[in-house]
Structure 1
Amino acid sequence: MYYVNVQDIRLRLDAIPDLAEALDKLSADWNGSTLQGLAQERLLHLAIETVTDVGSCLIDGYIMRDASSYSDIIEIIGGEQVLDAELAERLKALTALRRPLVQEYYSWPRGERHPYTPELAGWLRRFSEQVEAYLKKEQ
């Protein structure tokens, strides 16, 4: 019997609509200002933390193999068919941004819109839908 903390997962998934809305607006109104650059950094970071936190909850709850890194979290839940292969690959690439965002923030190109920014809202929405479908299937 598995103990999956669905409440913790849903708390994190409930943050996705706000993140997606902010990403859509930021992308549509992009002008390269410092404020927008900082907002973009935070949104990218929150997206990474959201998907990896949910992934960790799933891994722990369903006793999947232990993850060794942020990208490994996505690889595991992709391999367990929580996510489709295309989305798993995109989110795995997203997690590679964590280190530069968190540890090398001083050299992040704030004036440039990151290529993931216009697409990320859709990725997050798909992530939420696929996690919910997996939870429903497994309960």
Structure 2
Amino acid sequence: MLYKLNLSKIQEQLDMLRVCYSMASGLQLGSQGTMERFAVERAAHLAVECMIDVGNTIIDDFIMRDPGGYLDIVDIMEDEQVIQSSVGSVWKQWILLRDRLVRHYTAVQASELAVFTEQCEMMIQFDHQVQTFLQAEREKGNIE
């Protein structure tokens, strides 16, 4: 089956994910000030949004099953072998962190943000795995 993917949209989202990685990997939590904390919070929030958007685009364009929520997007991406479960498990933790950053932002602890910065290499793994999946689909002739 030939799928029409919005590859430029996916690439734009992955480009922003790389920006989030650059920010998160360059910031050290500990003796950070308010600006650094805000930067880490924004990088974490945006990284999750980018990953969700990439997941939604792939799920929609490849006509995969409909997700019931953000965590289901991860399950679908794992089931369809777009990403590995090691990436999926970290992504699920980040989705929960995103919820706290959006809904319970006054309760987010520095330790939660530190875990995000320690795991930020996962963004590069996600990017690579998505690119590998898309290349394989291209080689199969499944993408216009």
Q: Same fold (TM over 0.5)?
A: yes
Q: For the aligned residues, what is the CA RMSD?
A: 1.7
Q: C-alpha distance in 1, partners of 2:84/2:58?
A: 15
The yes-or-no answer on 1:84 pairing with 2:84 is yes
Letter in 1 for 2:44: L
Q: C-alpha distance in 2, partners of 1:111/1:87?
A: 20
> 1:42-94 deviations in whole A, cap 9, x for unaligned?
11101110100000000001011111111111111111100011111111121
Letter in 2 for 1:137: A
Aligned counterparts, 1:1-139, within 5 A: 1-27=2-28, 30-110=30-110, 113-120=113-120, 122-139=121-138
Does the 8 Å CA contact 1:34/1:111 hold for their aligned counterparts?
no
Listed as ranges, the gaps of 5+ residues in structure 2 are 139-144
Structure 2 counterpart SS, 1:94: helix
Structure 2 CA distance for partners of 1:113 and 1:7, relative to 1, 3 Å: closer
Q: C-alpha distance in 2, partners of 1:127/1:114?
A: 19
Size of the alignment, in residue pairs?
A: 137
Q: C-alpha distance in 2, partners of 1:111/1:64?
A: 36
What's the TM-score once normalised by structure 1's chain length? 0.90
Deviation of the 1:112 alpha carbon: 6.8
Does the 8 Å CA contact 2:87/2:126 hold for their aligned counterparts?
yes
Listed as ranges, the gaps of 5+ residues in structure 1 are none
Corresponding residue for 2:141?
none
Deviation of the 1:106 alpha carbon: 2.3
Q: C-alpha distance in 2, partners of 1:33/1:112?
A: 16
Does the 8 Å CA contact 2:23/2:40 hold for their aligned counterparts?
no
Q: C-alpha distance in 1, partners of 2:128/2:113?
A: 26
Stretch moving more, 15-24 or 111-120: 111-120
Q: Percent identity?
A: 31
Q: C-alpha distance in 2, partners of 1:49/1:3?
A: 23
Letter in 1 for 2:19: D
Letter in 1 for 2:90: R
